[in-house]
């Protein structure tokens, strides 16, 4: 069975983010009453200062004329994932430069293409990422599903099942893909703790 990614480098154990970190950050953001138009912009400004290449990529996506739900989701997930890495690893988290960002983007694209040409394999790109960063992918998927669930029109013809809210699925997917790239790039920007084993190269 083809399980781990062929194009995506395995995330070392010391760079895996616990789900509990994300849950605490979500609670803190909710308690502070952050919204895409207020304090969340301040947090994004700090993100720009510490992760310039990632912030620029995210800003380009969020600057598009996105559906309001996709825009809010993008701001929230971008900040939450970045804060989770910063909270979990502190000074061990290095800055992702443009070369590393391009490498992450290329790896995801190639992995997706490889999976598409091996339709007999049970896992897709999302499954591979879930193996590498299970806590983050579970957190991200829950919020994406929540964004799409009310009136998303899934399983309906155009114009049906949209009474509650019409969410642009393509916009949400663009945000989702951006968060996946960010997650992979940040995962490989984490240095091992002092005394830890060198990065494992898993087959």
- Whether residue 80 is contained in a domain is answered as yes
More confident residue, 75 or 5: 75
- Whether residue 143 is contained in a domain is answered as yes
CA within 13 Å, CB half, 50: 18
Q: List phi, psi (to 5°) of 93.
A: -90, 115
pLDDT tens column, 127-185: 889 999 999 999 999 999 999 886 544 434 334 444 445 789 999 999 999 999 999 99
Average pLDDT of the chain to the nearest whole number: 82
**102 pLDDT higher than 80:** yes
- Whether residue 203 is contained in a domain is answered as no
More confident residue, 38 or 185: 185
In this predicted structure, what is the pLDDT of residue 150? 62
Query: What's the rounded mean pLDDT across residues 64-89?
Result: 94
Give the single-character DSSP code of 119: T
Q: List phi, psi (to 5°) of 190.
A: -90, 130
The model carries a pTM of: 0.82
pLDDT-based confidence at residue 5 (cuts at 50, 70, 90): low
- Whether residue 7 is contained in a domain is answered as no
Determine the Cα–Cα distance for residues 48 and 115; give it in Å rounded to an integer.
Answer: 33
> Helix %, strand %, coil % for the chain, to 5?
60, 0, 35
- Whether residue 42 is contained in a domain is answered as yes
- Whether residue 26 is contained in a domain is answered as yes
- Give the three-state DSSP class for 190: strand
The boundaries of the domain holding residue 53 are 16-187
Query: What's the rounded mean pLDDT across residues 94-120?
Result: 87
Tally the domains of the chain.
Answer: 1
Residues 6+ apart with CB under 8 A from 180: 108, 125, 129, 140
- Whether residue 150 is contained in a domain is answered as yes
- Whether residue 162 is contained in a domain is answered as yes
Determine the Cα–Cα distance for residues 163 and 153; give it in Å rounded to an integer.
Answer: 9
SS3 annotation, 145-168: HHHHCCCCCCCCCCCCCCCCCCCC
In this predicted structure, what is the pLDDT of residue 177? 93
CA distances from 11 to 2, 38, 188 (A): 17, 34, 7
Determine the Cα–Cα distance for residues 104 and 98; give it in Å rounded to an integer.
Answer: 10
């Amino acid at each position: 069975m083809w399980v781990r990614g062929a194009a995506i480098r395995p995330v070392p154990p010391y760079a895996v983010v616990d789900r509990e970190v994300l849950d605490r950050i979500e609670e803190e953001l909710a308690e502070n009453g952050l919204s895409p138009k207020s304090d969340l912009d301040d947090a994004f400004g700090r993100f720009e200062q510490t992760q310039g290449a990632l912030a620029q990529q995210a800003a380009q996506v969020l600057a598009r004329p996105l559906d309001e739900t996709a825009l809010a989701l993008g701001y929230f997930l971008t900040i939450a994932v970045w804060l989770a890495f910063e909270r979990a690893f502190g000074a061990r988290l290095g800055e992702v430069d443009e070369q590393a960002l391009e490498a992450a983007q290329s790896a995801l694209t190639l992995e997706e293409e490889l999976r598409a040409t091996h339709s007999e394999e049970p896992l897709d790109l999302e499954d591979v990422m879930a193996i590498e960063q299970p806590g983050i992918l579970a957190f991200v998927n829950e919020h994406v599903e929540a964004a799409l669930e009310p009136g998303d029109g899934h399983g309906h013809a155009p114009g049906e099942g949209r009474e509650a809210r019409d969410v642009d699925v393509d916009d949400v997917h663009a945000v989702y893909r951006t968060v996946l790239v960010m997650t992979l790039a940040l995962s490989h920007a984490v240095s091992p703790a002092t005394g830890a084993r060198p990065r494992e190269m898993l087959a």
